[in-house]
Homo-oligomer: A and B are copies of this chain.
Amino acid sequence: MKFVIDMMGGDNGLEATIPALDGFIKKNSDVEYFLVGDETKLENFKNIANVHVVASKSVLAMDVDPLTALKESDSSLMVAIKTFLENKCDALISAGSTGALLSASIFKIKRLPNITRPCLITSFPTIKTNKKFVVCDLGANASNTKEELNQFAIMGSLYYSIIYGENNPRVCLLNNGTEEEKGNELTKEAYTILKNNKSINFIGNIEARDPLYGNIDVLVTDGFTGNIFLKSVEGTAKAMSSMIKEAFKRNFLSMIGYLFSKKGIDGIKNKMDYKNVGGALLLGVNGVVIKAHGSSDPRSFTSALDNAYKLTKVDIVNRIKKELE
């Protein structure tokens, strides 16, 4: 297994990636690592047997224009892409700009057959123990066509089947109502295509309040709406966790209360914490390209690495590619 890691991307850059890699490399000796970034800061990794340090000179800004990004060949992301291709790597992980990662992946790593736009996909927790659902697109794209939503549904179904061993995953379209005629122009048209797609198990529209109850498997949406959904869920969960923390601090008794119920309450916080989510797969390109959270800390970057490991292990990309051909 060969991994390329953009060590410089994300709001926290090396402060997140170095501790994450320190821990991950110790645990996973079956991976060959290519760490791309400021060579002088990565000295300590050089004497580890299965690690290569690859020098890059600049870092792309988080709000870089994708076309500018493609031209900055000395940047950590573009060097990472080059390293990925030259060494026939399995996975590439970056916390840098989504737009830059998307366009560099499309132009250099290339798309899977019959896919016009890749999407970001990841698993969300539900109130049911061990039950998750996946959402695609979480924001690789700022807008999408109905045909692209159909591609997301097909790829999302295959992804869910492989990861969760479910043969006929239930696909829903995120919409402002459940009835067939509900929605904006895009969702109305996408509904018709999805309904007529015999290769997926489309069960209809779903409103944003329902997926967390654990009754669906694949939530299909355009990248703009998916991004709103992701961040609303994430923000609400984080806000509620912080309110819970305050509630327990009210007085002496409530602090005792916390001690008595700590295990369950911490379990919820943990379950709903995006830092454990592990980054999203850029599904639809020819490799395991993982977009780690832009504000990744060591813990969330580690989750992204874990995710890359798991997805590479099940050979996700080649299996989906085969189905698409």
Contact = CB atoms under 8 A, between A and B. Distances in A.
Given A174-B228, A184-B143, A179 B63 contact: yes
A183 B224 contact: yes
Contact of A228 (B176, B182, B243, B254): B176
Which 9 A/B pairs are nearest by Cβ-Cβ distance?
A247-B264, A257-B260, A209-B235, A257-B261, A232-B232, A208-B231, A209-B231, A236-B236, A254-B261
Contacts of A271: 243
A63 B180 CA distance: 10
Contact of A233 (B207, B225, B232, B250): B232
Interface of A: 63, 65, 126-127, 139, 142-143, 174, 176-177, 179, 181-185, 187, 207-213, 223-225, 227-240, 242-244, 246-248, 250, 253-254, 256-265, 267-268, 271-272
Given A250-B263, A260-B256, A260-B260, A224 B268 contact: no
A240 B242 contact: no
A182 to B, nearest CB: 8
A103 to B, nearest CB: 15
B268 A244 contact: yes
Given A250-B264, A253-B260, A227 B176 contact: yes
A212 B235 contact: yes
B231 A207 contact: yes
A268 B256 contact: no
Contacts of A142: 176, 182-184
A235 B258 contact: no
A236 B207 CA distance: 12
A293 to B, nearest CB: 11
Nearest to A138: B176
Contacts of A211: 235
A190 B262 CA distance: 46
A227 B208 CA distance: 8
26 contacts: A63-B181, A65-B181, A139-B176, A142-B176, A142-B184, A174-B228, A183-B224, A184-B224, A208-B229, A208-B230, A212-B236, A228-B228, A232-B233, A237-B240, A240-B272, A243-B268, A244-B244, A244-B265, A244-B268, A246-B264, A247-B261, A247-B264, A248-B264, A250-B263, A254-B263, A257-B258
